[in-house]
Every structure is written in structure tokens, then in C-alpha cells.
Amino acid sequence: MSVSQPSSPFVLALSAALALTLSWPAGAAKPEEGEVNLYSARKEELIKPLLDRFTDRTGIRVNLVTGNAEALLQRLQSEGINSPADLLITVDAGNLHRAKEAGVTQALSSEAMAGVSESYRDPEGHWVGLSLRARPILYARDRVEPGQLSTYEDLADPRWKGRICIRSSDNLYNQSMVASMIAADGVESAERWTSGLVANLARPPQGGDRDQIKAAALGQCDLAIANTYYLAGMLDSEDPAERDPARAMGVFWPNQEGQGDGRGVHVNVSGVALTKAARHPAEAIRLIAFLLAPESQAWYAEANGEYPVREGIDISPTLAGWGDFKADTLNLGRLGELNGEAVRVMDRAGWK
């Protein structure tokens, strides 16, 4: 799959800026070279340390605005070409696709996405993943043996009736997971699976991913579907109310080799897009390059409990303790494209 080149006149300047960022010696001081305006749906504590490092290395100031993903997209749309934002960082490929469809982003050059699998970037170059999050099956160690588990599809089997916890259908993480099921098996099969999953829920969907983990640890269900970075955060917490439930749970990687179609566990990304209104594109590309550099990728894994989008990056002991897994290679742009169909499937299945 090829990544289209941007039609923007900035491409030569961006490529040169990328090369400069990658070649500048770590820790070397640089003069002030402008600024980047960043809209981020990630909380400040999950991105600010990296932005500060970038400023220290390059002298480029990053003006950070944080907020809800939907609110930031609406802001970009209302500001239009007059928006001060150069970059948008948000979570889930569905949100990144919405920004592209809204016409507030522009294509990046292939050089700006170098080293990132085509699965984790928009086919037309409008966004690139920065960190990877997996959504496997978590199981209560005292009640479920890993050998009893196999695939996402198996969760619709009646033997799991009353034993599964998951958050509501209005959560984009779940919508993207169902979209991946549609991509793999088609609409009819995905709807049968979704109906079976709903029939097996231990309780009406409520709360976030951490709440599903706590419910399983307390015996309200035996299985939970949640993003691993929530579990990692709980395990690393100093609060026993977070740490103890997490310790009661095991991680199972579904749809691995020899399990069903073996397509791999469902994954998603946090990612970045260059806005159509970008006034500092060269500086913005340098920030993207920095966020994709090995040092930053390792920081994501250690501080946020997320996996790198690049190969060969060290991960934290917590992540390493869960073992290796095969990830679904579906291009994540499909999750956004199939979001509407996924929502309709979930509605018809009665997923609240």
C-alpha cells in the first residue's frame, strides 16, 4: 500500500526539517526557531513531558491546548483556515478519521511517517500513529484458566453467559473493535457476534475500562475487555484500590496463530495530524519526527503503558510481562470508515 504525497508546497521544507530533527545531536542546545501550536485530546501529563524535551532540544516552543476530542474537532471546524492549530493529537483511529473527513487535515509526506507500519497510518497520509494500544481479553485468575479462552468470536458462546463486563456502545474504543470485526467477518457475522456478546454480559454496561477490571476482580464477572494501558496504570498505582484489582487479572491475547482466523488482537492508536491551516508546518513536522524517535517511543511505553508504533523499541517490564502478541494488521483507517456501520450493528444488537 502506497502513501500519497502531499500536494502542499511545503513538502521540500518539511523533508529538510525532518532530516535536521533526526540528525541533531541529543542534548545539544539550539537557538529559538519558532513555535508549534498543538491541539491535544491527550491529557497534559501524558504529552507535556515530551513537548518540554522537544523544546529543550530544538528551541521550538510548543503552545499546547488540551480538550475533549470532539470539542477540539468542532473548534478546528469553526476556526477553519484561520485556525492557529498546526497539529492535532487525538486517540483512536476513529477520531483521526473524523478529522480527515471534516477536511481539517492535510497529507503528510511519506518521510514524516518513516518507520511506522502502514497499518498504523492513514492510507492517504492524513495522520500517523504515535503509540499503540491493545484491547485484549482480561480474565479473573482465580476463576478462569487461559486455556478456556481463544478468540473474540468465542465470547459470544453461551458458556460465557453472565460472565463478561464491557463498557457501553457509545465508547469509541468499542465501536472501533466492532468495526474491526466487520472488516474481518462481514456485517452479518459481526452482528451475530455482537448479539451473542450482549447476551453474555454480567451487567448493563457502565463506567470506563478501569471499572470493568474492578468488577471482574470483585467477582461481578469473570472476563473484561479493556485497553491494556488502563491495566498497566492500575498495576503501577500506589493506591491499593487500583493496584489490587489489577493484580487479580490476567491478560489473554485473542486471535493468535491457531486461534480462529489468527488475525491478531485488536489494536488502535493515539495519533497526530497536520492541520490544513498549519502556519508552522516545518516546525510541526519536526515535532512529529521527535515523537516518533526511539527515545519518545520508549517514554510512551514506560510512562503511559502504551506500545511503540515502531519496531525494536524497549518496553516497560509491565508490558513485557504480558508476553509477545500478534496484532491485527488491518489498516486502522478502516476503523473510521466502518464506524457508522459498527454503531448500527451495536444498536440492532441492543448494546446499551
pTM over the 0.85 mark:
yes
Rounded Cα–Cα distance for residues 110 and 113 (Å): 5
Rounded Cα–Cα distance for residues 313 and 136 (Å): 21
DSSP state of 304: I
Residue where the block lists cell 472476563: 223
Over the stretch 48-100, which tens digit does the pLDDT of each residue have?
Answer: 999 999 999 999 999 999 999 999 999 999 999 999 999 999 999 999 999 99
Over the stretch 125-150, which tens digit does the pLDDT of each residue have?
Answer: 999 999 999 999 999 999 999 999 99
* Close Cβ partners of 122 (under 8 Å, ≥ 6 residues apart): 96, 97, 100, 128, 333
Query: Does residue 29 register a pLDDT over 70?
Result: no
Over the stretch 157-208, which tens digit does the pLDDT of each residue have?
Answer: 999 999 999 999 999 999 999 999 999 999 999 999 999 999 999 999 999 9
- Are 73 and 98 a contacting pair, CB within 8 Å? yes
Over the stretch 217-254, which tens digit does the pLDDT of each residue have?
Answer: 999 999 999 999 999 999 999 999 999 999 999 999 99
Over the stretch 288-307, which tens digit does the pLDDT of each residue have?
Answer: 999 999 999 999 888 888 99
Rounded Cα–Cα distance for residues 2 and 190 (Å): 29
Helix axes 187-199, 172-185, angle to 10 degrees: 130
Number of other CB atoms surrounding residue 22 within 10 Å: 14
Strand partners, 65: 39
- For the chain, give the mean pLDDT: 90
Domains of the chain by range and CATH? 11-132+270-316 (3.40.190.10), 134-265+328-348 (3.40.190.10)
Over the stretch 319-338, which tens digit does the pLDDT of each residue have?
Answer: 999 999 999 999 999 999 99
In order of 6, 166, 209, 245, 347, the CA distances from 227 in angstroms are 33, 11, 7, 15, 22
> 288: phi > 0 → left, psi -120 to 50 → alpha, else beta; which?
alpha
Read off the C-alpha cell for 248.
Answer: 487479580
Residue where the block lists cell 493468535: 256
Read off the C-alpha cell for 133.
Answer: 494500544
